[in-house]
Homo-oligomer: A and B are copies of this chain.
Amino acid sequence: MSAGPSAAVDPQSLSPRRTAPDPTSSRPLAYGPPVDVHDLPTPALVVDGAALEHNVRTMAAGRPGRTLRPHVKAFKSTGLARYVESTGGHRSFCAATLRELEGLAAAGIGDDLLLANETLDTDRLARLVGTADATVTVAVDSAETVRVAADAGASVLVDVDVGLPRCGCAPEAAGALAELARSLGVEVRGVMGYEGHVVGRTDRAERARGVERSTALLRRAHESVGGDVVSAGGTGTWDLHDSSTEVQAGSYLLMDTHYAALGLPFREALEVEATVVSSSADRGWAVLDAGLKSFGMDHGDPTVPGWRVFFCSDEHTTIVPAEGGAPLPRVGARVRMRPAHVDPTVAYHERLVVLDGDQVVEMWPVDLRNW
């Protein structure tokens, strides 16, 4: 595994197990041999293969092996997870849903799988523990979730509230949960704490201060919990976690316009290819065939470089000229759009199309969607 960015994508590296059918994919792909991106139906979720490879290698150079736990929630695809494993060299993965983890396990990806989330579904967790050829660990933050882990036979990380009002127990309650878990025969591997209120701050110094505060809480909890693992962080704080044993990051792979504003060394690799289906140039707008069902909208409208987004509707985005920008595109033209938030964007699509320039080099089903 070489460190640092590579200028051109190596198509071979994008399909390390091209011959193995994906057991979790239910919808056959419509495409055989490589095609040109212009032959794809639109909207199509396309990935710049060179930018993806740059992102994988940049992260792996800074956080090699088990110091990174790639987060599958950002891309929901066993194909991309395999690429991260083979090219980045990481074998620990985390996920936000049981479906994501079940898919990884069924595809034989990784040897250390973490549900970085709480679950009450004992049956599915037990089935996963029983069938996965990997260690299965689950986050717990209550007596109820500890009992689920015990009944399912999973190991645990105690999830600690480090400032984001979401999951995680109070730091001072972590030790008692670990004690309860051990009394039920559960292996307590350590702690996790996600500083989600910090990772998106655009000022790096502010992110660093936030991580300092959150990891102080996490370390305090770790002292009372024990175990080898201190898991924290995300793409925005990937290189600010000296005192954690691993960082959970997924957005670094594909990126979005929100993360691009943070000055990270990762490149925007994800776009939606759209077709201009209508042009009212005389009245000042044109219409693309990708809208609210192609983009997660919680971080705002997608960006269309060269033009200004006027508004999005279900299957359309109306664009208008930008100050000093290009003239409006003609009907039939292809236009690229950039998502504001990668995770809920990918979750709308059924495949990631990896490109080398205009050529399709890989199709990865987004096979870990839904629950």
Interface residues of A (CB under 8 A from B): 26-27, 41-44, 73, 96-98, 117-121, 124, 141-142, 144-145, 161, 165-170, 196, 275, 277-280, 282-285, 287, 289, 292-293, 296-298, 310-316, 318, 331-332, 341, 343-344, 347-350, 369-371
Contacts and interface: CB of A to CB of B under 8 A. Distances in A.
A161 B68 CA distance: 52
A253 to B, nearest CB: 15
A343 B316 contact: no
Contacts of A296: 292-293, 297
Given A161-B280, A166-B278, 6 more contacts: A26-B27, A120-B331, A144-B332, A167-B278, A170-B282, A292-B343
B347 A348 contact: yes
A350 to B, nearest CB: 5
A277 B315 contact: no
A283 B170 contact: yes
Contacts of A284: 165
B277 A167 contact: yes
Nearest to A294: B371
Contacts of A310: 165
A283 B314 contact: no
Contact of A312 (B289, B298, B314): B298
A350 B369 contact: yes
Contacts of A161: 280, 283
B343 A279 contact: no
Contacts of A331: 118, 120, 142, 144-145
A283 B142 contact: no
A277 B117 contact: yes
B196 A120 contact: no
Contact of A315 (B73, B170, B318): B73
Contacts of A369: 350
A341 B43 CA distance: 21
Nearest first, the 3 closest Cβ-Cβ pairs linking A and B are: A118-B277, A167-B278, A297-B298
A347 B295 CA distance: 11
Nearest to A142: B331
Contact of A41 (B121, B280, B287, B347): B121
Given A120-B275, A297-B297, A166 B318 contact: yes
